Chain A
């Protein structure tokens, strides 16, 4: 890809990001932040490319840590978002005391 193509894509994506997010109820701010947080875990692809074409030991190590970090970001991010949003889904009937853990601190 030549540079100007990349810049074109970048600028269009900036506007898509602005448009897609406007008018969000406060309730959804935290889940939405968490979801976009998971999406930037896509940097893991960079780690895969680094390791996939690595040719020295340190490069393996750097790339492997980057992959692990990215995977934490992706898997953790989407799962936590799913848990948060699960709280909003309609429950059939109020089940008694869902959380069982009690305690607190």
Chain B
């Protein structure tokens, strides 16, 4: 039981003071994370706060079992380290989903262990402990499974299209009612809570997490991940209530409230409400001509040389990058095209849709990686009024965010979603591997408009070819 290092009394002044230092650093870290110039430092400050919180806990009096603690800590750290070094920039969103999921899983496991502790010591649990434990268990479990589904969808392990199950809403509602009922029963019997019932609650919450996220289409996934991030934060705060740990309460709550704001901002950027995303799925049944398989619509197809000529003799070119650019790792090749055009005196801008890529800001990260000057990145509101004066808009691997149906067709599943209005430009070149629909699973009318030319190729290869052709002109 005793350890030479164990010096801090749990809940004592020294431990609490160190926890206060830790969560103050979190607040400063988040604050600095909201400004481009200080963001990197902010992240380090928060990480430093985390180190203080962990070391403080390790030094608590009576803490033992060092082998298991350090072993598990090292294994987890190694996995996290390797994963974050290996992950490609394009896969960041699903990586965040996965990290969020394991966090939620940890909360659920801690809640389970607290219940077991309460039962094995025979004296039951006071409600002020039991209720947060139940909350942490349910939300942690939902977050774990929901995040894993989000990860699997973004990683293309399961179809990104909305999976509609008949009676979905009813099943979810019944599950939720069942969970609340079981929690209530557990709370009433708090002198002798049943572990079997608790495990049933965990499993029901797991099922709920799966069922809620499965029907959501890939395009809405960033908002879902952000929401689950906020949930995990709240569940961590609940665990802090149960464990009497001020660092957990403050840090978890901070993530819960700041995550909620971020979620709302993302949803606003897509002109969707969070409730709509969670309960409606994307587009529901692909009714009518939406599917787009089989039916052939006329379109214009061109090669790299034609594209190069169109671009080289334009005055203004706007590049609209999308997730396809990220997947093909084409950001450097596109930058070369832009450089070649600028040498010829063409004005080049990049139009960034708020959710270009798979998360807000994702595309900015990728283009910054390719040294694209910050001033050339134009946000949607800024570039749309310029579109009618743009000679050529080049859409690279973007799809749904350019679909004029969002504006023109009130029946479209993406009706009302803000788009980059490329069809207003004099000419549009779409670089894409095929005519296949995008994330939302619907056909893009843009491809069939008379001023649109399709260049069917891998984005990176196409950009390299175009750059070479421009050099030859």
Q: Which residues of A contact B (CB under 8 A)?
A: 1, 3, 6, 9-10, 13-18, 20-54, 56, 58-60, 62-89, 91, 94, 97-99, 101-105
Q: Is the CB of B239 within 8 A of A88?
A: no
Interface size on B, residues (CB 8 A): 119
Q: Is the CB of B95 within 8 A of A76?
A: yes
Q: Does B413 contact A (CB under 8 A)?
A: no
Q: Is the CB of A71 within 8 A of B71?
A: no
- In the complex, what's the smallest C-beta–C-beta distance from A57 to chain B, in angstroms? 11
Query: Of B27, B80, B95, B354, which contacts A71 at CB under 8 A?
Result: B80
Tell me, in angstroms, the Cα distance from A42 to B99 when the chains sit together. Answer: 12
Tell me, in angstroms, the Cα distance from A3 to B244 when the chains sit together. Answer: 9
Query: Of A45, A59, A71, which contacts B117 at CB under 8 A?
Result: A59
Q: Is the CB of B368 within 8 A of A87?
A: yes
Q: Is the CB of B75 within 8 A of A71?
A: yes
- In the complex, what's the smallest C-beta–C-beta distance from A104 to chain B, in angstroms? 4
Tell me, in angstroms, the Cα distance from A6 to B131 when the chains sit together. Answer: 14
Q: Does B159 contact A (CB under 8 A)?
A: no
Residues of B within 8 A of A77 (CB): 80, 84, 96, 99
Q: Is the CB of B253 within 8 A of A13?
A: yes
Residues of A within 8 A of B257 (CB): 13-18, 21
Interface of A is mostly: helix
Q: Is the CB of A80 within 8 A of B96?
A: yes
The answer to whether residues A45 and B245 also contact, given A78-B50, A86-B40 and a CB cut-off of 8 A, is: yes
The answer to whether residues A63 and B113 also contact, given A27-B36, A28-B36 and a CB cut-off of 8 A, is: yes
The answer to whether residues A67 and B364 also contact, given A40-B229, A43-B106 and a CB cut-off of 8 A, is: no
Surface stretch bound by A, among B262-270, B315-323, B398-406: B262-270
Residues of A within 8 A of B236 (CB): 40, 42-43, 46
Q: Does B85 contact A (CB under 8 A)?
A: yes
Q: Does B285 contact A (CB under 8 A)?
A: no
- In the complex, what's the smallest C-beta–C-beta distance from B54 to chain A, in angstroms? 7
Tell me, in angstroms, the Cα distance from A37 to B105 when the chains sit together. Answer: 13
Q: Is the CB of B243 within 8 A of A46?
A: yes
Residue among A18, A43, A47 with the highest chain B CB neighbour number at 10 A: A43
Q: Is the CB of A40 within 8 A of B255?
A: yes
Q: Is the CB of A52 within 8 A of B69?
A: yes
